[in-house]
Amino acid sequence: MEQMQLPLLWFMLAAYLGAFMFYAFSFWARNAKIRSLAQKFVYVGLFLNTAVVLLRSVLIGGLPLNNGFEFGLSFVFAAAVVFVFIERKFNMSAVGLFVMPVLAAISVWLVSIDLSVEPVMPALRSYWLAVHVSAAVIAYGSFAVSFAVAIAYLIKDKKEHDSTSRVHELPSLKVLDEVSYKLIFVGLPFLTIMLVTGAVWAEYAWGSFWSWDPKETWALITWLVYALYLHTRFMKGFKGKRAAWLSVLGFAAVIFTFFGVSYLLPGMHSYLV
């Protein structure tokens, strides 16, 4: 069964890439029919994504949250679920053009790494880990989509005055700004839960709830950036463009916490990737 993971992942990647292509095509052709085709590809991708998550759960006999691959897999899954939710609720399917590249990029990474099932070291055998990583997956999923919506905002903002521009296919600036904010407002509590449960787990496993390990520090930086996002919104002139840039910055911190720290900086968490 372990061998089934890779082909399923490839199909999932193809579906997300296909969705991206059709979103791009529909954007270029201003064609809603093609866009609904793109949506179908998203559903197929999400279906396959769910299949890999379930398969992996069966293989390891638990939630797929134990190593870098499993985390990435769940992350893509969460981001796809969040996207499907907001595209239905706020009728903003066109934003898929910006969400799909994120999903596809992480999927590319997933097919390129080691998928074998390895034993889990004792320190990782903790219920705190499950809560810690689940919260991270939900937070990161929301932030990924918020980032994509913020990019859509920035692009639309740039071309707003050009009445012939295709950016008018996108939802209004106000809706983009609000949805990007809402996703951060929902994501931040989960990031808080991630930090807290991570600290509790570290206290039980390593005897210190905080040790300024680079991954920890970067998770804190991410949390601070999003806290900054929420507080600057109370200040004049910080909605819209500046907020969108902060969302981009926040997601850059997410990505650096996940990849950058593991590949560029040393630390306790390096076993995760």
Partner 1 sequence: MLKFISSLKLAVFLIAAIAAISVLATIFPTADAFNSWTFRLLVVAFFINLGTCTIKILPALWKQLHREASQVPVQAEYTAYDVDRESLIAWLKEQRYRVSDVCEGNQIKILASKGRLGLCAPHVLHISLLIILIGAMMSMSNTSGFVMGQVGQSRPFPAELVGHYGENSYIEILDFQTVYDDKQEVDNWVTKFNLYIDDTLVAENVETKVNEPFAFNNMLIYQNSYDYRHLLEVTGSTVAEQNSAYGIPNNLPLTVGADTIVVADLSGKMYLQVSDHVNPARGQFVQPGDALALSEAGAQVTYLGTIAYSVLEVKTRVGTPVVFLGFILAVVSSMMFLCGRYREFWVLCNVDEQECHVHCYSKNAVVVEEMEELLHEKWNKKAEGQ
- Under 8 Å between Cβ of 86 and 92: yes
- Under 8 Å between Cβ of 151 and 99: no
Phi, psi of 199 (to 5 degrees): -70, -40
Residue 273 contact, options ligand HEM, partner 1, none, Cβ 5-8 Å cut-off depending on partner type: none
Supply the DSSP string of 96-130, one letter for each residue.
HHHHHHHHHHHHHHHHHS-----PPPGGG--HHHH
Residue 24 contact, options partner 1, ligand HEM, none, Cβ 5-8 Å cut-off depending on partner type: none
CB of residue 257 vs partner 1: minimum separation in angstroms?
Answer: 10
Site for partner 1 in 74-113 (CB under 8 A): none
Q: Does 185 bind ligand HEM (CB under 6 A)?
A: yes
Cα–Cα distance, 241 to 235 (Å, whole number)? 13
Considering only the stretches 46-54, 74-82, 143-151, 190-198, report the one whose residues sit in contact with partner 1 under the rule CB under 8 A. 190-198
* Cβ distance to ligand HEM smaller for residue 233 or 241: 233
What are the helix (H) ranges across 30-67?
Answer: 32-60
Supply the DSSP string of 156-195, one letter for each residue.
HHHHTT-TTSGGGGSPPHHHHHHHHHHHHHHHHHHHHHHH
Closest residue to ligand HEM: CB criterion: 227
Q: Does 193 bind partner 1 (CB under 8 A)?
A: yes
Residue from 13, 102, 151, 225 binding partner 1 (CB under 8 A): 225
Cα–Cα distance, 158 to 29 (Å, whole number)? 20
Both tokens assigned to 85: 């939710």
Q: Does 57 bind partner 1 (CB under 8 A)?
A: no
* Cβ distance to partner 1 smaller for residue 7 or 266: 266
* Cβ distance to ligand HEM smaller for residue 159 or 233: 233
Q: Helix axis angle, 214-232 relative to 173-206, nearest 10°?
A: 150
CB of residue 182 vs partner 1: minimum separation in angstroms?
Answer: 8
Q: Does 188 bind ligand HEM (CB under 6 A)?
A: yes
- Residue the block writes with tokens 């799909």: 100
Residue 195: name the closest of 181, 206, 209, 183 by CA: 209
Site for ligand HEM in 218-257 (CB under 6 A): 224, 227, 230-231, 233
List interacting residues with partner 1 (CB under 8 A): 119-123, 125-126, 128, 178, 182, 185-186, 188-190, 192-193, 196-197, 199-201, 203-210, 212, 214, 217-218, 220-221, 224-225, 227-228, 231-232, 234-235, 261, 265
List interacting residues with ligand HEM (CB under 6 A): 185, 188, 224, 227, 230-231, 233
